Structure 1
Amino acid sequence: MDALPTTPSFRLDGRRALVTGAGRGIGLACAAALGQAGAHVTLAARSRSEIEAGAQAIQAAGGQADTLLIDVNDVAGTAAALDGVAPFDILLNNAGTNRPKPFIEVSEDDYDAVLGLNLRAAFFVAQCVARRMINAGLRGSIIHMGSQMGHVGGPRRSLYCASKWGLEGLSKAMALDLAPNGIRSNTVAPTFIETPMTRPFFEDKAFLAGVLEKIKLGRLGTVEDLMGVVVFLASDAAALMTGTSLVVDGGWTAE
């Protein structure tokens, strides 16, 4: 018989990864996951103390990590900072925010804050990273942290849904434009994940009960639920995956 095929590696040794919004929560966990898989991880955010603590923790665990102090809303400043370091093989476009409120109460400031960070900043970070990948001849992986709310609607989530549906469309179009360069673009679409940003929402017991009713596996998501997914999309194991979304929602969108 022919030799058995070998599973492509999930290891990321020798690759450079950039994670935005890496100071806490999902971003920090996924930075740790990429580091544990062997990547050199650059943690990027506005909070110097948080990303430095995260990088030190990754280093203490035997990984390779450094930091980049940027505000991704500042497109020109972010581009200058990224142009000042070596190109990346992997981007996790993770920085994001939310201002839940009824549609008719949303202000221009709310709109600009949520769409500005979740979509505009993500667009231009990805553009800058992709340009550097192309110029360096790297066949990279760009991963956008989307949401189940990029696949369905939700009450008091008009801005968040708009930004995350937009991110899904952006990723698909990027996948088409970047495929000739061997660069992949995908999204991860989680359900409600318990993090410092979301924890205050769950203090509302009625809200929590409604969420748990829709998550068919019966629990909130954890950051650990996303770590393996991100490593998979970054790795050679996902070499033929581009322009798609991995929905990690415990069954929310299944009905």
Structure 2
Amino acid sequence: MSHELFSLAGRRAVVTGGGRGLGRAIAAGLADAGATVAVISRTHRDVEAVAQELGDGVMPLAMDVTGNDPDVMVDAMEDLLGGSIDVLVHAAGIQHRDSAESFAAEEWDRLLLTNLSAPFKLSQELGRRQLERELPGSHIFIGSLGSTLSIPKAAAYTATKSGVYGVARNLSTEWSGRGIRVNCIGPGYFRTALTEPVFADEHRYKRMLDRIPMGRFGKPEELAGAAVFLASDASSYITGQILMVDGGWTAA
């Protein structure tokens, strides 16, 4: 197999939540594969720092994906990148932990908006444009272990990540025959700001580590290969799938 199949040279990519954590690692991987990448985050400081650190080909855009009209957001992304978007990665996400019986309604709504509604609406708008222009594309949603398993004290997060996988399957069914592939990546436990409360709990840390066949937690950069693969021609016949990157957790 030619290594060119994995090349993203000449392609324009957007990574929401690209200012830190898994989103930043994915942005770095796409850029290293040759893509021009727009990193999106609500925090201007974060995206500016990532763009400066990753160098040429990575462009910052401070934007709240939950607080703007999708058409306005895609216009801004296309203006920044200088043309139509080829690859969209939904890495923006939030978490809130509480027991199901105590879970606050406002927190439920906040997670559904950020983790599920916002990425669907953004893909909906970009997909509409790609279909109208008869352009191919790759949309990549970020799920989690919660896309296929339950996570205690994370009812809303589990619901949104299950929903993300459902959206990816549905969009794939509707769009893949017209050139747009839609897939999902399911990260296991990686040490980021989102998962830090878990790592701070010594008992839970040990219990989770014991469940991972590889015997360790993931490093954010280990997620980049999956994103490059799903964005590239190397996965040209793969759509509607979830690729678990979890050290074997869901296989055990």
Please confirm whether the aligned pair reaches a TM-score higher than 0.5, indicating the same fold: yes
Structure 2 residue 244 is the aligned partner of structure 1 residue 252:
no
CA-CA distance at 1:242 after TM superposition: 0.2
Which residue pairs with 1:46 in the alignment?
Answer: 42
Cα deviation 1:20-55 (Å, max 9, x = unaligned): 011100001100110000000001111111101111
Residue pairs, 1:152-231, within 5 angstroms: 152-231=149-228
What secondary structure does 1:56 align onto? helix
* Structure-1 residue corresponding to 2:29: 33
Q: Aligned residue pairs: how many? A: 247
Equivalent in 71, 79, 87 of residue 71 of structure 2: 79
- 1:104 is matched with which residue? 101
Say whether the 8 Å CA contact 2:19–2:39 is kept in structure 1. yes
Contact conserved, 1:141 with 1:184, CA < 8 A, in 2?
yes
Shift of 1:6: 4.4
Q: Distance in 2 between matches of 1:16 and 1:6?
A: 21
TM-score (normalizing by structure 2): 0.94
Conserved? CA contact 1:88–1:132, under 8 Å: no
Residues 65 and 73, structure 2, Cα contact 8 Å, conserved in 1: no
Partner residue, 1:65: 58
Q: Please tell me whether the aligned partners of residues 75 and 121 of structure 1 are also in contact (alpha carbons under 8 angstroms).
A: no
Q: CA deviation at 1:201?
A: 2.2
Q: What residue in structure 2 maps to residue 18 of structure 1?
A: 14
Counterpart Cα distance in 2 of 1:208 and 1:95: 24
Displacement of 1:138: 1.8
- Contact kept in structure 2, 1:75 and 1:125, CA below 8 Å: no
SS of corresponding position for 1:9: helix
Q: Which whole-Å CA distance do the structure 2 matches of 1:15 and 1:109 have between them?
A: 39
User: Contact 1:34 / 1:231 at 8 angstroms: preserved in 2?
Assistant: yes
TM-superposed deviation, 1:134:
1.9
Q: 1:7 to 1:27 in 2, by over 3 A?
A: closer
Task: Give the deviation of 1:114 after TM superposition.
Answer: 0.9
Q: 1:8, CA displacement in angstroms? A: 5.6
Separation in 1, partners of 2:66, 2:147: 21
CA RMSD of aligned residues (A): 1.4
> For residues 36 and 237 of structure 1, what CA distance do their matches in structure 2 show?
16
Segments of structure 1 that go 5 or more residues without pairing to the other structure are none
1:95 equivalent among 92, 96, 106: 92
Partner of 2:119: 122
Kept after mapping to 2: 8 A contact 1:87/1:129: no
Alpha-carbon offset, residue 100 of structure 1: 1.3
- Percent sequence identity is 36
What letter is aligned with 2:161?
K
Calculate the TM-score normalised by the size of structure 1: 0.93
CA distance in 2, matches of 1:28, 1:224: 9
| Contact kept? 1:216, 1:252, Cα under 8 Å | yes
